[in-house]
Amino acid sequence: MNSVYDDVRSAFHGIWQKRWLALGVAWAVSIAGWVVVAMVPNTYESHARIFVQLDDLLAAQVGIGEAQRRSDIDRVRNTLTSSANLEKVIRETALGEGVTTKRAMEGAVGALAKSVKITADQDNLFEISAKSSSMRFSDLQNARLAQTVVLKLIDIFRDEKNITNRDQLKQTLDFLDQQLAQRGAELQAADQRRIAFEAKNPEAAVGGLSLVQRMEQSRSALRSLDGDIAAAQSAMASLTAQMAAMPATISGGPNGGGARGTLSQLQTELAQMRARGMTENHPDVIATRNQIASLRQQVRAEDAAGGDRLGAPNPAYASLQSVRAERLANLQALQARRATIESDLARIAAEQVANPAMATEAQSISRDYDVLKQQYDKLLADREALRLRQTAENGPNPVKFQIIDPPSTPRRPIAPNRPLLLFVVLLAGVGAGVGIAYAVGELRSTFDTTGDLENALGLPVLGAISQTLGEAAIEDRARKLRHFYAATAALGGLFALLVAVEIIQRGMVA
């Protein structure tokens, strides 16, 4: 422990002996470092936040959805820092002063690209920031330049957003107009060929349809008619079965009576239940059917006993007869129509067999016309949709653009932290002075303590003689010590002065 203490005392003694050297090195390093720090320009940064709201019903109806609007905004944000836009900013601000060559412009664009930053805080909220630290300008000019750059970027953002797809839409519309004119001429020529062919061969096409189209249309109509005829025949069979199970007359005079009259009444009620949509499993339907079955047995018993077979007409039976007659007429009409279509099919087939060249020509003319007509209709629909979209783009801007935080002149530099750098330089100077003084002290051939002498010689030291100074020497030492303290205080005072100057300069910018 005593050895460590002696080493520390020896080190401090050596440094103190070389204190003027240490102070000189500290002054030299500090002055040089402070000059370097003073040459580092202050960096000022300006921020702005903008809000973009995508909400427009008309745009969505014409195919300009929110997703496409968001894609356009992202595209503008990504291209906002392109070389062309940054060059525009440079030319419209003080950054363009002195930039006369292409190489100088490329260097200015590269430097500006590093200082500009665009971030999306949320889906619709964007932040634009720009830094300025040019040595050509003062602190106040750099602060205002950062603000100006952000303002120009906001203007470019607004302009780019407003003309997102207008040029592209105009080019597309011009192309569609050219294609429509070309297809219209071809369609008109094909229509003239079709009309001339039909005038020459009226039996080959009717209503603009070729033989093949007419055959396909007839076959489709036949398939539809077969289904309708099958349904009509099924309905007729059901009505016939119901009429077979129902008596044509009822006994007991016009109002009916006995088992036969009750049977007729129940059959009428059963028909009404089915007409209301009741299924065969409905309890009322089941009970009525059971009563009808029982009454039929009674009627057969009365007939076997020679009961009155004459009576009034059964209203339910007459109603079924009327329905059956109507459905029979419908069935006959369907069958007649089917026969007509079959006759047309046979005639068309005969025409194809009799004159295959004419049928082939008719099919070719009709096919060419149909293809051109479909292409023309599609192009026309696309052009009208694009026109409507262009109208929506050129109309009131559906994208609401709002500046939330306008760019203001920055009041404090973001870099460098000059007071901290000045302090670090001061510490580095003091450290360098102390280090050099210690190194020089270690190189000298004297011993500061008796312990150092014992360690060096390996012999015991019996004692040490203290230095005795006269009054003049003591006064001289005190004067030199005061000078040393004054020089040290001057170094600290210079540091404090530099910090004060930095604070005052910042206050002048604010």
Using one digit for the tens of pLDDT, what is the confidence trace for 445-481?
566 666 666 776 677 777 777 766 778 878 888 898 8
Percent of the chain with pLDDT over 90: 13
Q: 248 with 313: CB under 8 angstroms?
A: yes
Among 402, 404, 399, smallest CA distance to 73 is for: 399
Q: Kindly calculate the radius of gyration of the chain based on its CA atoms and give it in whole angstroms.
A: 55
List CB contacts of 233: < 8 A, sequence separation 6 or more: 331
Q: How far apart are CA 394 and CA 390, in angstroms?
A: 6
Q: How far apart are CA 156 and CA 144, in angstroms?
A: 19
Here the tokens at position 94 are 């003080």
Exposed/middle/buried for 23, CB within 10 Å: 0-12, 13-18, 19+?
buried
Lowest-pLDDT range, 2-16, 56-70, 102-116, 117-131? 56-70
Domains of the chain, first to last: 2-40+416-509 (no CATH), 44-164 (3.30.1890.10)
Cα atoms in the 13 Å half-sphere on the side-chain side of 15 = 17
User: When comparing pLDDT for 221 and 61, which is higher?
Assistant: 221
pTM for this predicted structure: 0.50
Report how far apart, in Å, the C-alpha atoms of 385 and of each of 63, 182, 380 are: 8, 19, 9
3-state secondary structure (DSSP) of residue 477: helix
Longest dimension (CA), the chain: 176
Here the tokens at position 104 are 């100088």
pLDDT per position as a tens digit, 352-388: 555 666 666 666 777 777 788 888 888 888 787 777 7
Determine the pLDDT at residue 358: 62
- Residue 422's pLDDT band (cuts 50, 70, 90): very high
Determine the pLDDT at residue 57: 42
Exposed/middle/buried for 90, CB within 10 Å: 0-12, 13-18, 19+?
buried
Give the containing element (helix H, strand E) for 66. Answer: helix 66-79
Phi, psi for 310 (deg, rounded to 5) = -95, 145
3-state secondary structure (DSSP) of residue 391: helix
Instruction: Specify the length of the chain in residues.
Output: 510
Q: How far apart are CA 87 and CA 96, in angstroms?
A: 9
Lowest-pLDDT range, 4-13, 84-93, 146-155, 445-454? 445-454
Q: What number of other Cβ atoms are within 10 A of residue 245's Cβ?
A: 10
pLDDT(30) > 80: yes
List CB contacts of 433: < 8 A, sequence separation 6 or more: 21, 22, 23, 24, 25, 26, 29
